Amino acid sequence: MGNARTIQRVFILGMDGAGNFIQHTATPNIDAFLKNGAVTYNAQAQSPTISAECWGSILHGVVPEKHQLNNKVASSGTFPADSPYPSIFRLAREAWPEAKLAAFSSWTPINSGIIEEELGIHKESMPEAELVSAIESYLDKNRDVKLLYMQLDEPDASGHKYGYGPDSPEYLEAISSMDELIGRVLRSIEKNGLLEDSLVILLTDHGGGGEDRYDHGSDHPMDKNVFWGCVGPGVAPGTVLPEMFIVDTAAIAAHALGLRQPDAWDAKVPASLFRA
């Protein structure tokens, strides 16, 4: 895994509620990008397959039973600064007091209730298109950013309104629209000369339409199976991930940044991800 040490920064770029349905609609930006690294369409979301539980696990490296986040908790409070389950942001801040860290989220509770406060993280919460413009502007001025996270709230909103799955054209169109926005962020990363020495993770938190066409939360494969991919130094094009859990995202980001992950984390780096 030594090649991962050449990674200078990590981008975690996600959309909400897309499951693995990028296979059923046009996502040319994601598809072309992930050909350069690792991708799976059978990564496993956390249970229950709900946004706060899943993003909480992605960022804090533990299962929901430990981080204790749900949508109500995330919407009404702040994550404990002294939790034994720190986010990847807290790990980075403790390692680098002056590093530039940034979180951009369309769903405000991620910034206010899931990622810790008082860490000097640049946080912005706004609708998707505005959010991507803000990221482009931020990257133009902060090429030395160490860790940047993005969450686009579609297509989850479309799934709740129109139904999830391959037979919901409005939902699939929402995924394609998010692909265009992710493409803009990827081009901004490349334009600013940051692509070659960054680990870029593309993912979603959960799917939907399993037990309820208009909802999620169950362990049905439509809710549970999600896409996950990454590109960066040490990750060979075409890398296969036979077993992947979204909670592992935190361990992968920590490893790439050279940070020691807490013993309390459940997250693990998949053995096949980084070349020796």
pLDDT digits (tens, 9 = 90+) for 1-19: 344 459 999 999 999 999 9
Q: Tokens 């039973």 label which residue?
A: 65
pLDDT for 5 equals 58
pLDDT at position 142 over 50 = yes
Read off the pLDDT of each residue in 117-121 and give the average, rounded to a whole number: 97
Per-residue pLDDT tens over the stretch 22-35: 999 999 999 999 99
| Placement of tokens 């030594």 in the chain | 2
pLDDT value of position 275: 84
Judge whether residue 213 has pLDDT over 70: yes
Question: Do residues 222 and 33 lie in contact, with contact meaning Cβ atoms separated by under 8 Å?
Answer: no
pLDDT at 47 over 50: yes
Please, what is the average pLDDT of the chain?
A: 96
Cβ(206)–Cβ(51) below 8 Å: yes
Looking at the predicted structure, is the pLDDT value of residue 164 above 80? yes
Mean pLDDT (whole number) for 69-81? 97
Looking at residue 22, its amino acid is I
pLDDT of residue 3: 45
CB environment 129-140: b (16+ within 10 A), e (fewer):
eebbebbbebbe
For residues 70 and 65, give the distance between their C-alpha atoms in angstroms, rounded to a whole number.
10
User: Which sequence spans correspond to the domains of the chain?
Assistant: 2-257
Give the chain's count of helices (H) and strands (E). Answer: 11, 7
CATH code for the structural domain at 2-257? 3.40.720.10
State the distance between the two ends of the chain, measured CA to CA, in whole angstroms: 4
Q: Is the pLDDT of residue 44 over 80?
A: yes
* CA 120 – CA 123 distance, rounded (Å): 9
Distance CA 134, CA 110 (A): 17
pLDDT for residue 276: 56
The C-alpha angle 60, 10, 54, rounded to 5 degrees, equals: 30
Per cent of the chain over pLDDT 70 is: 98
Q: What is the mean pLDDT of residues 210-226?
A: 98
Output the CA torsion sign for 38, 41, 43, 48: positive
pLDDT tens digits for 223-243? 999 999 999 999 999 999 999
Q: What's the sign of the alpha-carbon dihedral 230, 19, 108, 78?
A: negative
* Proportion of the chain above pLDDT 90, given as a percent: 97
CA 45 – CA 222 distance, rounded (Å): 10
* CA–CA distance, 162 with 154 (Å, rounded to integer): 12
104: nearest Cα among 150, 170, 159: 150
Six-digit token string for 191: 């334009």
**Range 191-202 burial, b when 16+ CB lie within 10 A, else e:** eeebbeebbbbb
Which residues, in sequence order, are bridge partners of residue 216?
Answer: none
